[in-house]
Chains A and B, each alone.
Chain A
C-alpha cells in the first residue's frame, strides 16, 4: 500500500512538471525563444517535371537571415484533382500548412469549416506586393461573406489560346482560311479526305481536341469553344444581363451540338479526341494528325514545345486565325475570366501568430531581391541581364544552370508566387528564337499577342458561380457526350426530354442560383 502511494505521488509530480508550461501562458510568451519562425509552404510548382529547390538553395539562407523565417517547402501535385485531395485531406485532419496554394472551389469548402484565416489585414502590411498583385477584382475573387480568405495572385495570362490552322495544308489544297462554320466544315473535310500531307495515306483529320473541362468551360470543354462560340454558347454561363444563365439551356446549344455531331459522324474530328489526355493531344498535333486546333500560346510556340513539330514538318506552318462566324454571325475563341492563383493562410498559422511573418515573407518576395531570386535565380549563375535589363539565359559559366535549363529550373519553382505578368517576365519567359530545323523565327509572346486580338467572350467571375453537385455534373457531362457518341439519338425530342430531366435533377436550381449570384455580385455585362 505504501509502495502504491509513493508511485502515485511520483506520477502526479511528473505530470505536474510536464503540464506546467500549459498553465503558464504569460511566462511562456515572455520567454519566447528568438529562433527563426517556421513557415510551412505548399506551393504550386512552376515546372512540374523539374524537382524542388535543392536543400542548399541560397534562398533558404537569405530568408532565414533577413526575415528570421525557416521556410519549409512542399510541392503540390501537378494534377488539380490530386492537389485538391492533398489539401482537403490535410484540412480534414486540421493539419493545413501555414501558407498554401488552393483552388477557389476547395477554398469555398474550407472557409465555412473555420480552417482559413482572413487576409484583409495583410494587404496593408505588404504595400509593394499589394500594388502589383492585388487589385479590387483579385480581392473580391476570394471574398466570402464580406471577408477575404485568400491572396489571389495573378495567374496565367488571359486570352492566351487561339484557333490555329495548318497553313501549309491549306496552300497545298488550294483552300482559303475558313471564316465561317460552313467554310470550316469544308476545310475539315479536305484535311481529312484529300491527303493534305501528301503521304498517300488516309491518316489525317480536320480538327483535334481532347476533353478539358473547368467550372466556366463545361463539356465538351475548352478545346471546342471556338465551335460553340460560333453559336454564341461558349462557356458554361451566359454572363450577359439579357441572357444570363446556363448556356446549355439556350436553343443555340442544340445547334452547336448538332454541328459537333456532324463533325463526329463525318469523321473529320480526330476520332481519338474522347480518349486523349492532354499529353496525347499535344503529341498528336506534333505528329501531324490534324490541321485545326485550339492551343495555348506557349504549348504551341515555346522553343521546346515547337521543336518536335519543326523536326517532323520543316515546311509545316500553323497560323492563328479568327474564330469562325456561325449562322447568326457570332464568333468567339471562348470565354475568359480573370485568372488567379490563390494562396491561403491557415487558421492554425494565424492562431500560432505567424500571419505577420507570412506577410513579411510575401512582401520580401515582391521586393527586387525576392522577385529576381525566385523568378530567375542568382544573377551570373542562373541568368544574366541583356541591354534592356531583361533576364536572359546567355553568357553563363554553366549553361545547364540557366533558369530555362533542367539544372536551373529547380531554383525558379516558386516563380508563380512573384510573377504578375509584367513585361520583364513576358520577354524573359518568351524570348524570340530561331527554330532548329526550318530556321523560322518564332516567339510565343508574338503568338500570344496575336491570340489576344481575336474575338473572345467576356465571362469575368463566371468561375466563381456555384458549381453543381457531383451527380448533376455527371448527368450533364455524360448526357452531352452520349448525344455526341450516338448512344442517345440527337433530335429535338430527345434533347428536350434530357433537358427536362436535367432541370428536375437540380439543373434548374443550379441555373437560378448562378443567375442570382451573378446579379448580386454585379458580374453580368
Chain B
C-alpha cells in the first residue's frame, strides 16, 4: 500500500511539473540513443565484426584488436603526438582564454571589449577547411604573408606547414587562435558572478589592477578553471581530428599523425570497425581514469572537484 501511495505521489509530481519533465525528455532520449545504445555495440571491439552476422553473431576475438593497436609500428609515436597536442592545447589555449576573459572584464571601454570579444570568438565558427586556406595564405613558403615579411628582411622562407619543427606549433597556436575567444565565454560568465563589493573594498585599500586580478579575480574563478581542466582531461586522447586531418601532409606525418587519424586510415578506410571501436574504447577508458584520478587529487588537496 505504501509503495502504491509513493508511486501515486510521484505521478502527481510528474503531472504537476510536466513541462520540466518534457524538457528533460529531450536530453534523456539523446543520451539513450547516442550514448547508451552504442555501449552495447561497443562489444565489436572484442569481435571479428562481420556486418552480415551482426553485432551479436560475430565471432569473439578477445583482446586481438587492442593488441593490434598497441603493437602497431607507430603506436608510441601516435600516443606521443596525441598527448603532445592535447597537453599543448591545454597549456596554451586555456591560459590565453583566461587572460582574454580577464582583459575583457577589466577593460573600462565596454564598446571596445565587445568588439574584441566578437572578433575573438568569430574564428570558432570557421571550419578547419577555411582555416587551412587562411593558414596557407599566411604561411605558404612561396607566397605566404609571413614568408613575404621574412624575405623582405633577407631571410630564407620557412616551410611552416611541411616542416616537422614548425608544424606542432602551427597546430597548437592555430587552435589557440581559433578557440580562445569561445573558451573565454565560460570564464567571462564566472567573472560576472564575482561580488563587486570585493573590488570596491580592494580599491579602497589601494590595490592596483594586477593585485585585484591576483587576489580577487583569479581565486574567484579557480573553481571554474579546475572544472574546465578536469573535463579536458577526460578527452585528453582527442587531439582534434578535424584540424590535424586538414593540416597534415606526408612530410610531417612523424609529428602530425595522432590516434584519431590512424584510426581513420586503419579502421574506417580499411573496414576494420572492430579495431576502430577498440581504440575508441581505449581512449574512453584512459579518459575516465584520468578524470577519476585527477578529481580525487583535487578533492584531497581541498580544491573544487567535479563531483
Contact = CB atoms under 8 A, between A and B. Distances in A.
Interface of A: 81, 84-85, 88-89, 91-94, 106, 109-110, 113-115, 203, 205, 211, 219, 270-272, 274-275, 277, 280, 289, 347, 469-471, 473-475, 477-478, 480-482, 484-485, 487, 505
Contacts of A113: 50-52, 271
B62 interface: no
Contacts of B164: 487
Contacts of B271: 88, 91-92, 106, 109-110, 113
A92 B49 contact: yes
B249 A275 contact: yes
A125 to B, nearest CB: 26
Contacts of B265: 470, 473-474
Interface residues of B, number: 34
Contacts of B254: 478, 482, 487
Contacts of B30: none
A93 B161 CA distance: 37
Interface stretch (B8-16, B140-148, B179-187, B201-209): B140-148
Contacts of B143: 203, 272, 289
A477 B141 contact: no
Contacts of A110: 271
Contact of B51 (A92, A203, A481, A487): A92
A483 to B, nearest CB: 10
A27 to B, nearest CB: 28
Contacts of B72: 471
Given A289-B142, A470-B270, A114 B52 contact: yes
B73 A275 contact: no
Interface in B189-237: none
Contacts, number: 103
A113 B49 CA distance: 9
A485 B73 contact: no
The 8 closest A-B pairs by CB, nearest first: A109-B271, A271-B141, A481-B251, A481-B250, A272-B142, A470-B266, A470-B265, A274-B162
Nearest to A477: B250
B58 to A, nearest CB: 11
A277 B231 CA distance: 35
25 contacts: A88-B268, A89-B268, A91-B271, A92-B271, A94-B54, A113-B51, A113-B52, A114-B50, A219-B250, A271-B142, A271-B159, A272-B141, A272-B143, A274-B159, A274-B251, A275-B140, A277-B132, A347-B52, A469-B270, A471-B74, A478-B253, A478-B254, A480-B250, A481-B250, A505-B73
Nearest to A271: B141
Given A114-B52, A477-B253, A275 B269 contact: no
Of A91, A203, A484, A487, most buried by chain B (CB within 10 Å of CB) is A487
A482 B251 contact: yes
A40 B72 CA distance: 39
Contacts of A477: 250, 253
A176 to B, nearest CB: 27
Given A92-B51, A271-B157, A505-B73, 10 more contacts: A109-B270, A113-B50, A113-B271, A271-B142, A272-B141, A274-B251, A469-B266, A471-B72, A482-B251, A485-B162
B257 A474 contact: yes
A102 B254 CA distance: 31
B251 to A, nearest CB: 4
A94 B50 CA distance: 9
B162 A91 contact: no
Contacts of A473: 265
Nearest to A210: B249
A275 B161 contact: yes
Given A106-B271, A274-B162, A280-B136, A485 B253 contact: no
Contact of A211 (B142, B250, B273): B250
